[in-house]
Structure 1
Amino acid sequence: MSVDTASSDTVFSILNKGLKLETVEDVQTFVEEILAKEKLETVILSGNSFGVEAAQALAGALKNKNSIKVVNASDIFTGRLRDEVPQAVRAICDALEDKQSLVELNFSDNAFGPAGAEPMVDFLTNNRWFQVLKLNNNGLGVRGGTIIGQALLEAAKKNNEEGKKSSLRTIIAGRNRLENGSSKYLANAFAAHGTLVDIRLPQNGIRPEGIAVFSKGLAACKDLEVIDFQDNTFTTDGSVAFAEALPKWKKLKNLNIGDCMLEVAGGVAIVESLLKGCNNQLQTLNLQYNEIDRKSVSLLAQAISSHLKELSSLELNGNKIHPEDSSIADVKAALEEHGHDNALGDLHDMENGYSLRVGGEKTASIPPHGHHY
């Protein structure tokens, strides 16, 4: 079985070969190729299925490599039994625990649930050099999210005891049903590290109380550039808490809180926070399907004109406002002021059960149509 490599000595890849690897013999060729790469930096295992023996054998080879920077182990357990996966995860994590060169570990798209989080604890607690953790679409649930949060918090405590700055920069953990139950543990960990630049937790069933907890924890991460909470539930309470934290993120470039049901008052709170001028590096903003109305959009136009000069992508579709409302025209004009004529996304699914206003005067009533949710 041949190995696709982008660089003969730095990359090992069996990406999307669809191999079902069971035994030591099944991966012997791969083990030999890994061991032969003296400057191995990138390992890509994705799109294959590993049994326990195969994973342990491959992990044994990785344990001898001290230049590894990236390990992509996403989608590697298709068709595996529930008791197989934790053993394989543990083998890979144990092999990487002492790797000071490691930058990124990706276990996304493995439906291992909380049982897959447990064997990661030692790695997350003891490897305090890696920067990027990708656990997207793993079915972690509240328990799994709690386990990850507690392990990361322990790592932060060790850093503090040693006077070592955290290396953690990126957490991607969407589609995991983290919900409110894990929010305290994860948020405490994020705050303790304080170094996050990129946090993405879309589609996690997080409700207003959890959003408030996350907002408070992430407020300690002053260098945040990317925040993605799409398709969770803010309502007014969560929005107000998020709005209070927003000025802390002065380096924020990409904010995605679309499909979060901000509600009218919540939308106003968030846009009023943007009006303070603390987020003037913002480049992309997603506020679609949030039940916000023309007041928020009018305020947003002011914020764009005054402060958001870098905003080159804006999504407002699916809100409680007609696309020909004067506030939309104001937003377009504000974007054009800064040379972003095409920044506003499509408005084909705006909430039309509201009076059309032009220049602030009611001119027509538009019948409602189907809701996005």
Structure 2
Amino acid sequence: MSEIPHALSAICDALADHPTLEELDLSDNAFGGRCAENMVNFLQTNQSVQRFKLNNNGMGPAGGTIIANAIAKNAETSKAQGKTSNLRTVVCGRNRLENGSAAAWAKAFAAHENLREVRLPQNGIRPEGIKQLAEGLSKCKNLESLDLQDNTATESGTRAISAALPSWPNLQSLNLSDLLLSPKGGISLATALGKGTNPHLHTLKLQFGEIDARAIHILAKAIQEHLKDLTCLELNGNRADSEDACIEQIRDALASHGHEDALDERKYLSLWIHASWY
């Protein structure tokens, strides 16, 4: 295992000044946080990369902070040179980033204002961290896809995401499944979607979010009035039954735009859950 840091440095340093590199994917390698420093030179230096993917590497909060700080430094370098950052996609899921690195990631995202896609699923990030991320991402006015699946938002984190939604007029895909949105958080989110600031949304994943009929009623109205492009909606595992009136309203709203199949009925047969599961 001792050769891994040296190998990673060799790869990243060789690519640091590559002028036409568009994507670097280092996912599914057992680096751990101890190897984060070996990527710093590349992340700070390379100005051409558009997509950086570091998924399932066991970085931890400390490693995640090092990576995020290097990405933020890259933006500062671009700005100092009078250039616009080329970074468009950041993927860093399953890395145990937790709240400890959230502030650094928020700063990095805010610095790269032209980001289009951010994916941070399964990182053990809790409400305060979700709030920080949402505030940082609110600076990314061109964001098209956001995946925060399988972290923990609760009401406070969900309200922060809801507050950021108007900042993303080009948003197309939003994955907040397994995020423990909470009943009140669900209302906040559905109400924000009902303002019509995200008309291009085509994928909305809200499975196992502990949202209830009140939020689903509001969501149905939002779909009817503003989300005509919604072709994929996942609501399985929330506090409603598949035969409830609110679900019928969802079906009717989707059907009004010709998207009768947007709600995955096969996954929808056991919609209700008990809060005690959490």
TM-score of the aligned structures, taking structure 1 as reference length:
0.73
Aligned length: 276
- Of 98, 116, 120, the residue aligned with 1:197 is 116
Match of 2:271 in 1: 350
Does the residue aligned with 1:211 lie in a helix, a strand or coil?
Answer: helix
Contact 1:240 1:270 in 2 (8 A): yes
Does the residue aligned with 2:268 lie in a helix, a strand or coil?
Answer: coil
* 1:46-99, Cα deviation, whole Å (9 max, x unpaired): xxxxxxxxxxxxxxxxxxxxxxxxxxxxxxxxxxx1x21110000000110111
Identity within the alignment, %: 50
Contact 1:322 1:352 in 2 (8 A): no
Does the residue aligned with 1:278 lie in a helix, a strand or coil?
Answer: coil
- Of 209, 217, 224, the residue aligned with 1:298 is 217
Match of 2:34 in 1: 115
User: Separation in 1 of the partners of 2:183 and 2:273?
Assistant: 15
Match of 2:82 in 1: 163
Match of 2:144 in 1: 225
Query: Match of 1:252, as an amino acid?
Result: L
How far residue 352 of structure 1 moved from its aligned partner, in angstroms, is: 5.5
- Of 238, 255, 263, the residue aligned with 2:174 is 255
Contact 1:132 1:169 in 2 (8 A): yes
Match of 1:235 in 2: 154
Task: Answer yes or no: is 1:148 the counterpart of 2:51.
Answer: no
Query: Match of 1:349, as an amino acid?
Result: S
Across the aligned residues of Structure 1 and Structure 2, the Cα RMSD in angstroms comes to 1.2
User: Separation in 1 of the partners of 2:170 and 2:19?
Assistant: 28
Asked which structure has the greater CA Rg, the reply is 1
Does the residue aligned with 2:61 lie in a helix, a strand or coil?
Answer: helix
* 1:126-166, Cα deviation, whole Å (9 max, x unpaired): 10110000100000100111001111111111111111100
Query: Match of 2:110, as an amino acid?
Result: A
Question: Relative contact order: is structure 1 or structure 2 higher (C-alpha 8 Å, sep ≥ 6)?
Answer: 2
- TM superposition outliers: structure 1 runs of 4+ over 6 Å: none
Structure 2: 5+ residue runs without aligned partners?
A: none
1 or 2, which has the higher helix percentage? 2
Does the residue aligned with 1:280 lie in a helix, a strand or coil?
Answer: coil
Does the residue aligned with 2:36 lie in a helix, a strand or coil?
Answer: helix
How far residue 343 of structure 1 moved from its aligned partner, in angstroms, is: 0.4
TM-score of the aligned structures, taking structure 2 as reference length:
0.97
* 1:226-283, Cα deviation, whole Å (9 max, x unpaired): 1000000000000011100011111011100000000000000011000010001000
- Of 316, 328, 333, the residue aligned with 2:235 is 316
Query: Match of 1:338, as an amino acid?
Result: H
How far residue 115 of structure 1 moved from its aligned partner, in angstroms, is: 1.7
Match of 1:276 in 2: 195
User: Separation in 1 of the partners of 2:25 and 2:64?
Assistant: 16
